[in-house]
């Protein structure tokens, strides 16, 4: 056997990068312009009328573009075979990602079966029309099944030959069908220009009411599912960071334009006053249901029926090619990560294709095409595609919010998070609508999901490989006593552990808290996770030092974990352990890049962790006599007062709340704000000696006051502006953090709805 | 021309126009990110606000 298991050999094989932007764009277009548009036009126009038909494709185009942009963002950052399966694994972990891959595999395979059958039905119908099949003794039903299997086998072989052949074959067929449909659409527009009277076919524009649009949008939405196949091609595409997102966006544009053109052509194709027409043109087209488009095209131009048949043949074959490709790649990815047996990941050295995954996918495609009723299974596939798109939009939200600093993006979704949230809302709506289409689909789909869950718990959970993105607990020591208030202190090395712990102790005493010490062990990408133990030694020393100091006084837990990214590891640990306060130490001189305030590790932690945060910079373990607290109001300022009163000397300490306002601007009523803060946090009001300063340059005044005044500590609440506002305008706390020469503390309060959202998402 | 048709044509124009806008914006953004060799979302957002 020439092929080797990837883990059993030092010489591994990988997929070849041979697909260009044109190839992957055409693969996406090919998967979208399958049977959906041909079946959709006739059925939809009867429900929603001529104008509603055009709006159906236009609105679906916008929705599809939103999901395509989510796919584009994720695929540019994670360009590996697996598509939604990979995104879900990184965003939500193994179980959800297995389900994503499992359903995607099924949905794509069944879609392949439908395209094979569509090819068979239209081809045989055309040959029968020409009188070429009179000699065939077999019933029509059997003939269609045989032809469906034959065409499936042809494209299975093309897929086996390798990515280049797959891409080139797909691109050829897709180009053909798109040109044909484009010609039909342009002829329709030309006819409308030459004979403006045909535009009266658009009256009544939307005869059965606007609400019917939702029905037809749901019915035709599957005609826009094609970007998954582009995501699958990440391992084989030249320059995937640029070409994958471009291909997704371009394919949607090509498809939306084509659909709108052919829909216009279908509406204007039929003369309203034709002698054999006893009803409105839109009703006449709708009466033929799935054949409506073909019947309309036959009246539009000479050879119209022939061209539509030809387009259907091109469309179904290219979609068949793309779906076999997509289904094979997702099962390959499941095998690669041992979610399915490793044999699924075996790659042929000769053709560089995952041959076993292709064999099993082929069996599903052929089995479904020959044995199962296609309409209900197709609806099940639609539900699963909608679920996949829903999941991908959730993934883009979660990954952007939690991992955006550690990924290399080639594209970012605009209007984030409005676009993915809008797509999610409509995908739920359309999936629910499919209940009206096929009740059996709502049995088949859950049955497939349940079977997938069984496989996951019986096989995948035990065998799945740890990926680079997972965080593993190396050692964990539980606390002897549980307290209501939980503080976590990430510790990096023994040299600064005690300084941080000394200040932590004061806060622990004030809050009657338990302390969790955490050391994250970052493992470089090149090092296998099995060698992580070697990197844990400095962290162990730091934790032991801190424990010796804290253990006699407070309940302590300690944890050592290894991860690929420290920031994400800290955020995950804080979320998992339901931490109330995270205490961080900042020992650097500032970040090298202007986009960071404290650095590439601390900034994401401060932004994303679902609890209050206190950052100590150069703070010795001592009591502080004069503490400056620049403030401008808000929860962060209240929290800053609380932390300042904890750190200040209770006997001789003074806290100086400082408010700087520009000349002519209203000043904050410090006394009223202080009284409220003191009442909320039950602080000692006598410690506070407030000050006002009027100056046009607020930032410089505060920095000057902090550095030149008689203070031994500066405490400030974090900026509340959004990230882009800070980047554009800068912020006072972050500027002070950079330039303050005194011991410095920055605090951030996370409470109310913001805290709830951070904990959930 | 009825009210529904006027509203429908406007909506269709807006929807298709929005798709075209998103395609052009996306293409420009992808080229911009590649040309400046940007990586993280933070860097890209910052450059998008400063750089164009």
Q: Taking 50 as the threshold, does the pLDDT of residue A634 lie above it? A: yes
Closest residue of A to B41, CA-based? A404
- Select from A256, A409, A724 the Cβ nearest to the Cβ of B19: A256
| CA pair distance A558, A397, nearest whole angstrom | 31
- CATH 1.20.1740.10 domain residues, chain A: 6-463
- Select from A51, A245, A414 the Cβ nearest to the Cβ of B4: A51
Report residue A726's pLDDT band, with 50, 70 and 90 as the boundaries: very low
| CA pair distance A716, A628, nearest whole angstrom | 8
Domain that holds residue B32: 17-51
CB contact (8 A) between residue B41 and residue A58:
no
pLDDT of residue A526: 57
Instruction: For chain B, say whether A592 makes contact (Cβ under 8 Å).
Output: no
| CA pair distance A398, A382, nearest whole angstrom | 24
Would residue B27 count as lying in a domain? yes
Q: Give the tens place of pLDDT for each residue, A548-588.
A: 666 666 677 777 777 767 887 888 888 878 888 998 888 76
Q: Taking 80 as the threshold, does the pLDDT of residue A751 lie above it? A: no
CB contact (8 A) between residue A249 and residue B22:
yes
DSSP states of A346-375 as a string?
---TTT-S-HHHHHHHHHHHHHHHHHS-HH
CB contact (8 A) between residue A411 and residue B33:
yes
Q: In the structure encoding, which two tokens stand for residue A642, read together?
A: 């609380």
Report residue A363's pLDDT band, with 50, 70 and 90 as the boundaries: very high
Q: Give the tens place of pLDDT for each residue, A133-159.
A: 778 778 877 888 899 999 999 999 988
CB contact (8 A) between residue A410 and residue B50:
no
| CA pair distance A313, A173, nearest whole angstrom | 9
Q: Tally DSSP H helices, then E strands, for chain A.
A: 27, 11
**CATH of span A6-463:** 1.20.1740.10
Q: Average pLDDT for residues A728-744, to the nearest whole number?
A: 74
**CA-based nearest distance B17→chain A, Å:** 10
Closest residue of B to A250, CA-based? B23
Closest residue of B to A607, CA-based? B42
Give the highest mean pLDDT range of A320-324, A377-381, A730-734: A320-324
Q: Give the tens place of pLDDT for each residue, A168-192.
A: 666 777 787 888 888 889 999 999 9
pLDDT of residue B30: 93
ipTM of the complex in this document? 0.95
Instruction: For chain A, say whether B51 makes contact (Cβ under 8 Å).
Output: no
Structural domain count of chain B: 1
Q: In the structure encoding, which two tokens stand for residue B45, read together?
A: 């957002």
Query: If we measure between CA atoms, which residue out of A560, A481, A476, A543 comes closest to residue A513?
Result: A481
Average pLDDT, chain B: 88
Q: Taking 80 as the threshold, does the pLDDT of residue A253 lie above it? A: yes
Q: In the structure encoding, which two tokens stand for residue A633, read together?
A: 């109001």
- CATH 3.40.50.620 domain residues, chain A: 471-618, 622-744
Q: Give the tens place of pLDDT for each residue, A556-565.
A: 777 777 776 7
Report residue A7's pLDDT band, with 50, 70 and 90 as the boundaries: very low
* Sign of the dihedral through C-alpha A62, A65, A70, A73: negative
Which residues of B, range 19-48, sit inside 8 Å of A by Cβ?
19-20, 22-23, 25-27, 29-31, 33-34, 38-46, 48
CB contact (8 A) between residue B39 and residue A252:
no
Would residue B42 count as lying in a domain? yes
**CATH of span A471-618:** 3.40.50.620
Would residue B12 count as lying in a domain? no
CB contact (8 A) between residue A72 and residue B26:
yes
Which residues of A, range 247-276, sit inside 8 Å of B by Cβ?
249-250, 252-253, 256, 260
CB contact (8 A) between residue A409 and residue B39:
yes
pLDDT of residue A40: 78
Provide φ and ψ at A184, rounded to 5°.
Answer: -60, -45
CATH fold of the domain at A622-744: Rossmann fold (3.40.50)
Instruction: For chain A, say whether B52 makes contact (Cβ under 8 Å).
Output: no
Which residues of A, range 150-209, sit inside 8 Å of B by Cβ?
202-206
**CA-based nearest distance A660→chain B, Å:** 28
Closest residue of B to A402, CA-based? B41
Size of interface A-B (CB pairs under 8 A): 118
Instruction: For chain B, say whether A22 makes contact (Cβ under 8 Å).
Output: no
Of A374-378, A639-643, A658-662, minimum mean pLDDT range: A374-378
Would residue B1 count as lying in a domain? no
Between A35 and A407, the more confident residue is: A407
Closest residue of B to A730, CA-based? B46
CB contact (8 A) between residue B30 and residue A411:
yes
Between B32 and A168, the more confident residue is: B32
Between A707 and A374, the more confident residue is: A707
| CA pair distance A307, A315, nearest whole angstrom | 12
**CA-based nearest distance B3→chain A, Å:** 9
Give the highest mean pLDDT range of A65-69, A458-462, A516-520, A719-723: A65-69
For Cα atoms A420, A426, A400, give the angle at the middle one, nearest 5 degrees. 10
Q: Give the tens place of pLDDT for each residue, A470-505.
A: 545 555 556 566 778 888 888 876 666 777 777 888
| CA pair distance A373, A378, nearest whole angstrom | 9
CB contact (8 A) between residue A414 and residue B5:
no
Q: Taking 50 as the threshold, does the pLDDT of residue A725 lie above it? A: no
Between A727 and A626, the more confident residue is: A626
Q: CA dihedral defined by B43, B48, B50, B52, rounded to 10 degrees? A: 150
Q: Give the tens place of pLDDT for each residue, A500-537.
A: 777 888 888 888 888 888 877 776 655 655 566 666 66
Instruction: For chain B, say whether A672 makes contact (Cβ under 8 Å).
Output: no
CB contact (8 A) between residue A204 and residue B43:
no
Q: Give the tens place of pLDDT for each residue, A13-44.
A: 445 566 788 888 988 888 788 666 777 788 88
pLDDT of residue A6: 43
Test the B interface: residue of A253, A422, A592 with most B CBs within 10 Å: A253
Provide φ and ψ at A122, rounded to 5°.
Answer: -70, -40
Report residue A425's pLDDT band, with 50, 70 and 90 as the boundaries: very high
Q: What residues in B contact A404, CB-CB < 8 Å?
A: 40-42
| CA pair distance A177, A182, nearest whole angstrom | 8
Query: If we measure between CA atoms, which residue out of A318, A321, A302 comes closest to residue A175?
Result: A318
Q: What residues in A contact B38, CB-CB < 8 Å?
A: 409
Which residues of A, range 727-756, sit inside 8 Å of B by Cβ?
727-728
Number of residues that make up chain B:
52
Would residue B24 count as lying in a domain? yes
CB contact (8 A) between residue A69 and residue B26:
yes
CB contact (8 A) between residue A727 and residue B49:
yes
Instruction: For chain A, say whether B17 makes contact (Cβ under 8 Å).
Output: no
CB contact (8 A) between residue B30 and residue A593:
no
Q: What residues in B contact A412, CB-CB < 8 Å?
A: 29, 33, 41, 44-45, 48
Using an 8 Å Cβ cutoff, are A291 and A132 in contact?
A: no
Test the B interface: residue of A28, A50, A51, A79 with most B CBs within 10 Å: A51
- Select from A69, A205, A241 the Cβ nearest to the Cβ of B4: A205
- Select from A51, A58, A404 the Cβ nearest to the Cβ of B41: A404
**CA-based nearest distance B10→chain A, Å:** 10
Average pLDDT, chain A: 80
| CA pair distance A67, A86, nearest whole angstrom | 16
Q: Give the tens place of pLDDT for each residue, A426-466.
A: 988 888 887 776 777 778 788 888 888 899 989 888 887 76
- Select from A61, A405, A724 the Cβ nearest to the Cβ of B40: A405
H-helix segments, A551-652: 566-576, 602-608, 635-647
CB contact (8 A) between residue A55 and residue B8:
yes
**CA-based nearest distance A571→chain B, Å:** 18
- Select from A62, A249, A593 the Cβ nearest to the Cβ of B26: A249
| CA pair distance A740, A110, nearest whole angstrom | 63
pLDDT of residue A360: 93
pLDDT of residue A3: 43
- Select from A205, A246, A723 the Cβ nearest to the Cβ of B8: A205
Q: In the structure encoding, which two tokens stand for residue A215, read together?
A: 């029905």
| CA pair distance A755, A579, nearest whole angstrom | 11
Q: What residues in B contact A410, CB-CB < 8 Å?
A: 30, 33-34
Q: Give the tens place of pLDDT for each residue, A47-62.
A: 899 999 999 999 999 9
């Amino acid at each position: 056997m020439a092929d080797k298991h990837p883990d059993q050999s030092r010489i591994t094989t990988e997929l070849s990068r041979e697909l260009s932007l044109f190839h992957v764009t055409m693969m996406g277009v090919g998967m979208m312009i399958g049977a959906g548009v041909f079946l959709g036009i006739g059925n939809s126009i009867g429900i929603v009328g001529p104008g509603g038909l055009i709006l159906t494709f236009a609105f679906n185009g916008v929705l599809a573009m939103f999901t395509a942009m989510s796919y584009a963002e994720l695929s540019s950052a994670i360009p590996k075979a697996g598509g939604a399966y990979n995104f879900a694994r990184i965003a939500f972990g193994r179980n959800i990602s297995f389900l994503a891959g499992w359903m995607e595999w099924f949905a794509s395979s069944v879609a392949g079966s439908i395209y094979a059958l569509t090819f068979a039905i239209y081809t045989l119908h055309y040959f029968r029309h020409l009188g070429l099949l009179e000699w065939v003794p077999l019933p029509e039903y059997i003939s269609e099944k045989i032809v469906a299997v034959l065409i499936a086998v042809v494209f299975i072989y093309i897929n086996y030959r390798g990515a280049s052949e797959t891409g080139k074959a797909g691109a050829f067929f897709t180009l053909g069908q798109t040109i044909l449909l484009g010609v039909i659409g342009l002829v329709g527009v030309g006819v409308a220009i030459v004979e403006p009277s045909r535009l009266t076919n658009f009256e009544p524009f939307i005869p059965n009411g606007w609400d019917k649009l939702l029905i037809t949008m749901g019915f035709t939405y599957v005609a826009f599912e094609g970007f998954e196949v582009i995501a699958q091609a990440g391992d084989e595409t030249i320059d995937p960071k640029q070409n994958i997102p471009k291909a997704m966006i371009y394919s949607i544009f090509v498809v939306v334009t084509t659909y709108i053109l052919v829909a216009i052509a279908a509406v204007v194709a039929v003369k309203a006053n034709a002698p054999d027409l006893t009803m409105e043109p839109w009703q006449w087209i709708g009466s033929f249901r799935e054949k409506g488009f073909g019947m309309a095209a036959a009246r539009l131009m000479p050879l119209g029926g022939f061209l539509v048949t030809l387009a259907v043949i091109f469309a179904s074959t290219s979609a068949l090619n793309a779906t076999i490709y997509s289904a094979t790649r997702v099962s390959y990815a499941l095998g690669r990560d041992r979610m399915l047996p490793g044999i699924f990941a075996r790659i042929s050295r000769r053709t560089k294709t995952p041959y076993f995954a292709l064999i099993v996918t082929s069996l599903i495609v052929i089995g479904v095409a020959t044995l199962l009723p296609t309409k209900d299974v197709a609806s099940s596939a639609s539900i699963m595609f909608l679920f996949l798109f829903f999941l991908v939009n959730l993934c883009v939200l979660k990954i952007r919010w939690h991992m955006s600093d550690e990924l290399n993006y080639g594209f970012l979704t605009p209007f984030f998070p409005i676009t993915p949230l809008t797509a999610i809302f409509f995908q739920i709506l359309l999936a629910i609508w499919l209940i009206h289409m096929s009740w059996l689909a709502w049995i088949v789909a859950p049955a497939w999901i349940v079977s997938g869950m069984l496989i996951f718990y019986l096989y995948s959970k035990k065998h799945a490989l740890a990926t680079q993105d997972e965080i593993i607990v190396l050692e964990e020591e539980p606390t002897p006593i549980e307290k209501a208030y939980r503080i976590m202190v990430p510790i990096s090395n023994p040299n600064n552990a005690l300084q941080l712990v000394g200040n932590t102790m004061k806060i622990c005493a004030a809050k009657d808290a338990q302390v969790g010490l955490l050391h994250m062990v970052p493992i470089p990408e090149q090092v296998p996770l099995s060698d992580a133990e070697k990197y844990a030694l400095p962290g162990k020393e730091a934790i032991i030092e801190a424990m010796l100091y804290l253990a006699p006084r407070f309940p302590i837990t300690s944890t050592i974990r290894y991860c690929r990214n420290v920031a994400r590891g800290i955020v995950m640990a804080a979320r998992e352990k339901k931490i109330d306060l995270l205490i961080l130490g900042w020992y650097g001189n500032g970040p090298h890049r202007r986009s960071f305030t404290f650095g590439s590790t601390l900034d994401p932690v401060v932004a994303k962790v679902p609890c209050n945060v206190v950052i100590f910079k150069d703070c010795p373990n001592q009591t502080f006599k004069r503490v400056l607290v620049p403030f401008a109001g808000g929860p962060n300022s209240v929290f800053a007062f609380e932390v300042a009163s904890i750190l200040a000397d209770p006997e001789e300490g003074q806290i100086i709340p400082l408010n700087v306002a520009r000349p002519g601007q209203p000043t904050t009523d410090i006394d009223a704000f202080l009284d409220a803060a003191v009442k909320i946090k039950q602080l000692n009001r006598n410690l506070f000696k407030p000050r006002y300063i009027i100056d046009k340059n607020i930032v410089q005044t505060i920095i000057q006051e902090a550095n030149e005044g008689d203070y031994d500590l500066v405490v400030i609440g974090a900026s509340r502006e959004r990230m882009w506002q800070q980047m554009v305008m800068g912020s006072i706390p972050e500027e002070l953090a950079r330039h303050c020469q005194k011991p410095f503390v920055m605090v951030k309060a996370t409470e109310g709805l913001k805290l709830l959202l951070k904990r959930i998402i | 021309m009825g009210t529904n048709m006027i509203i429908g044509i406007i909506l269709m124009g807006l929807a298709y126009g929005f798709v075209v806008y998103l395609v052009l914006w996306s293409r420009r953004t992808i080229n911009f990110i590649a040309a400046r060799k940007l990586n993280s979302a933070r860097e890209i957002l910052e450059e998008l606000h400063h750089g164009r």
